[in-house]
Amino acid sequence: MPLEIWQVTLLAVLGIIAGILNVIAGGGSLLTLPTMIFMGLPEAVANGTNRVAILAQNISAVSGFRKKGFSDFKLSLTLSLVSVPGALLGAHTGALIRGDLFNTILALVMIAIIILMAWKEKEKKNKKKPAQAPTTTPNESVLTPTRLFWGHIGMVGVGFYGGFIQAGVGFLLMAVLHNVMRLDLVRVNMHKVFIVATFTLAALLVYLAHGKIWWIPGLCLAVGNSIGGWFGSQLSVNKGETFIRRVLYIALLAMAAKLLFG
């Protein structure tokens, strides 16, 4: 697919923003995936092509976390491996799904993510209120066998969704790693980028086998995502998060309306 200069620039810039968002929280693909569809890529091709950028982004982010001294290869690997079967099945489903149905599913996912992001932002504001007596127990952050078990079970479903849609999978991963396994947010993101890199490689091979990868837009996007993934891994505090998410709400609502009503 030949691209004009403005399209190359747009994909690279969106890739940087998406890479940062994906590593710190999630939802970056909710910008890049609809953009590629609006540029004229068939829905399944856009879904597959997006994986080229996601893989590059997370390899970059894994390297960034490792350079900062954050790495737990054994746990990252076991969580990743249980996500792969689901990712393979999800990718096969995504490669075969009809374009109009995919658009509807993606639009509904985008709306659901907007609601989730708004709820998260409200929750964060509530936490800024005067602190009360601590309610956590000393064992709350301990990685118990029960938390390990349910965390690995959760990764099967996360893998399927990641292989199928990908967009917003970071929120699901954070829910499992932080809410179920009770890992701190730095280690959540450390494991998240490794897991996504692993199941994305598996999904990419499926989309490639179905002929659903267009390399030129994929590589343009990958350059931006790689840069964004690196910066996302380096940011300990996202000072512009509130502004970015408000702009994201508007963009996502507009894209969802376009996908639903044409």
> pLDDT (tens digit, 0 to 9) for every residue of the chain, 262 residues total?
677 889 999 999 999 998 888 787 677 887 898 899 889 899 889 999 999 999 999 999 898 888 888 889 999 999 999 999 999 999 999 888 877 787 788 778 777 777 776 776 676 667 665 544 444 444 445 788 999 999 999 999 999 999 998 877 887 888 899 888 988 877 888 899 999 999 999 999 999 999 999 999 999 999 999 998 888 777 643 444 454 556 556 666 766 676 666 5
Per-residue pLDDT at 135: 42
Question: What span, in angstroms and rounded, lies between the C-alpha atoms of 14 and 223?
Answer: 10
Per-residue pLDDT at 238: 44
pTM comes to 0.77
Per-residue pLDDT at 9: 92
End-to-end CA distance of the chain: 23
Per-residue pLDDT at 226: 93
* Residue 210: count of CB within 10 angstroms of its CB: 16
Closest CA to 50 of 118, 106, 112, 114: 106
Residue spans of the domains in the chain: they are 5-123+141-261
Token couple for 259: 């996908």
Residue 175 Rama label (left phi>0; alpha psi -120 to 50; beta): alpha
* Residue 53: count of CB within 10 angstroms of its CB: 32
Per-residue pLDDT at 183: 87
Alpha carbon 228 to its chain's center: 13
Helices 5-24 and 215-234, axial angle in degrees (round to 10) = 40
SS3 97: coil
SS3 30: helix
SS3 168: coil
Question: What span, in angstroms and rounded, lies between the C-alpha atoms of 33 and 228?
Answer: 16
Question: What span, in angstroms and rounded, lies between the C-alpha atoms of 156 and 7?
Answer: 36
